Amino acid sequence: MNRIVTLRRALLAGAALTGLAGAPAHAQAQSDIPAYMDVIVGAKVPDAATVAKNNVLALNTGMFDLYSDASKLVQASILAQHPVILGLFSGAGGRFILYRPGQPPLEGPPVPEVYQLLKSVGHSVMALGVVVGPHIAKKDDGSWQPQVQAYRVRLKAALDSLDKTSMPEEWRANNRELISENIAFIDKVAAGETVSFADVQAFAAKQKNRLKLNIQWAADTQVKHWMGVLAGWKKDLGPDWDKVYAASNTIYVARQNNVLYSVLAQFFTPEDINSRLILIETVSFTTTPNDMLDSLTRIIADRTVGETFFGSRYLMDYELMGGDARDSIVAQTKAMGLPTNLPPKVPFGSHQWPTLITPGPGPASLADLP
């Protein structure tokens, strides 16, 4: 009898377990989760299609991690085999840094400080034209005056200090006239009810030729300095100069006639342009030496990829999809009845200057302007 009761109890327990097993798994799980976990457990998980897409896209994001790790090794290898020169823009006339295998980086001496003095005064003139521009012909608008009057104090302090600065007397006299005219312009427009365009034009006409002199002297100071530094480095490196990689940075407005790149180019052959001498475009005037080295490393490393996969060393210097995209643009413009507006094809190994070189009408320098 006891054995029958025991058997019945076992069968009932089994039936209960079977009932639980037959219930949906999420129902069992939900019954064990306290209410305070709802905010987390209620999160919607991605569907299978989204997971699949993200798994594939992760290959591209993960590629950058691989690149970063490999880049450190490649950069060390480049610097162990090749001298590298970086020309970096700065408000002080630029920086040049020489990296030599097995030696610490060597930074060139700064441009003489007169360069910065000339540039500072020149900027003060053009800044006044910009700052009053939005207020031209606006009657009873004095919103610009506090800022400009404060700047007048700086101009007066600079004028009073000019004789103690390190520049030739001819240059000092020109800058004295520039600053004095700045002060006179502020006083004139501040005394009137409005800023007139005629006032701004008259101010610009008075300052134009003086500005041209400052620009000329500053450029000459900068070029002479860096030409001398690079000539010394080339002499010191001797035969290793033929292994030098050099790069300069630029933003769009400084791309044409880029001073540092143009100076570097005088110590390389035309065949070195875009090969060992590279212009790297950035989004700000200044960048760090490490960022420049990283960019240069990426360019050099990608050339091995282009050669290995496609048999073209300089292929990766260009937009990889650009050729096929060009063909597609031609087909699409034809289908839409539009004229195709594309430049001529350029070979991957082109040594053309990385700036505009096509001649055309119009002035090309300050000296060409009336």
Is 268 in contact with 276 (CB distance < 8 Å)?
Answer: yes
Q: Residue 269 has what pLDDT?
A: 97
Structure tokens at 369: 């302007």
Query: CA 281, 285, 289, 291 torsion: positive or negative?
Result: negative
Burial of 130 (0-12, 13-18, 19+ CB in 10 A): exposed
Burial of 185 (0-12, 13-18, 19+ CB in 10 A): buried
Q: Residue 25 has what pLDDT?
A: 52
Each residue of 192-222: pLDDT tens digit?
Answer: 888 999 999 999 999 999 999 999 999 999 9
pLDDT in tens, the chain (370 residues): 454 444 444 444 444 444 444 445 555 556 788 888 888 888 888 899 999 999 999 998 888 888 888 889 999 999 999 999 999 999 999 999 999 999 999 999 999 999 999 999 999 999 998 999 999 999 888 898 999 999 999 999 999 999 999 999 999 999 999 999 999 999 999 998 889 999 999 999 999 999 999 999 999 999 999 999 999 999 999 999 999 999 999 999 888 999 999 999 999 999 999 999 999 999 889 999 999 999 999 999 999 999 999 999 999 999 888 899 999 999 999 999 999 999 999 999 999 999 888 888 999 888 888 8
Contacts 24+ apart (CB under 8 A), 47-55: none
Q: Residue 65 has what pLDDT?
A: 85
Q: What are phi and psi of 202, to 5 degrees?
A: -65, -40
Q: Residue 6 has what pLDDT?
A: 46
